[in-house]
Structure 1
Amino acid sequence: MTEQISQRELRNDSGRIMRALDEGRTFIVSRNGHPVGELRPLRRQRFIAAQAAVEIFRHAPSLDWSAVRDDIDEYVDQDIEPRG
């Protein structure tokens, strides 16, 4: 949900607003009761540690690479002749 804040609140309560932005909240900033802008969090790329990724996939089922290759060969034309 978007919260409307005044220009004065933005100036006087910037710490709370910045923490709320970190949490993903969005604000409409108003001046004299009229909306003039929007504050919203930037999208951040989230990375995980390599060890955490290994742990996530440790119990995943193994792949039959021969079956994967057969599926690819069935649906994808991999002929080396140029298309003309």
Structure 2
Amino acid sequence: MQQLKAIGQRELRNDNAEIMRRVEAGEGFVVTRNNKPVAQLLPYREEVVSRPPLGDIQVLFGTLPPVDAERWDADRKAADEVFGADDPLEDPWQT
């Protein structure tokens, strides 16, 4: 990884067009204020997110154990007794 050049906030403000051209060309900077780093100015790189195919996800879900609905409901009711109901459609601030 290349070393980032430090530039002051004032230099960024005064020479912003030139600095943006340099960033666009691949150069990066550390912006400082009172000689302390406050930001990095780096070229934008679009992240490519790879997602597994739906078929692979379906296979993974097929390996999960079945849900015991009665046990889940009992656990939820027990938690509600301790923590209170948490209905996402209920607004606790309205009376």
TM-score (norm 1): 0.50
**Aligned sequence identity (%):** 47
**Structure 1: 5+ residue stretches without partners:** 46-84
Alignment match of 1:42 (pick from 14, 21, 44): 44
Partner Cα separation in structure 1 for residue 38 and residue 46 of structure 2: 25
The correspondence of residues 1-84 of structure 1 with structure 2, limited to 5 A, is: 1-44=3-46
1:43 is displaced (CA, Å) by 1.2
* CA distance in 2 between partners of 1:28 and 1:20 (Å): 13
* Partner Cα separation in structure 2 for residue 44 and residue 37 of structure 1: 19
SS of the aligned residue for 1:21 comes to helix
CA distance in 1, matches of 2:39, 2:46: 21
Aligned pair count?
A: 45
Unaligned runs of 5+ in 2: 48-95
Hey, what's the Cα distance between the residues in 2 that align with 1:22 and 1:35? 21
Taking structure 2 as the reference length, the TM-score comes to 0.44
Alignment-derived partner of residue 52 in structure 2: none
SS in 2 for 1:43: coil
Q: Deviations over 1:20-62 (max 9, x none)?
A: 01110000000001001100010159xxxxxxxxxxxxxxxxx
Q: Which runs of 4+ in 1 moved over 4 A?
A: none
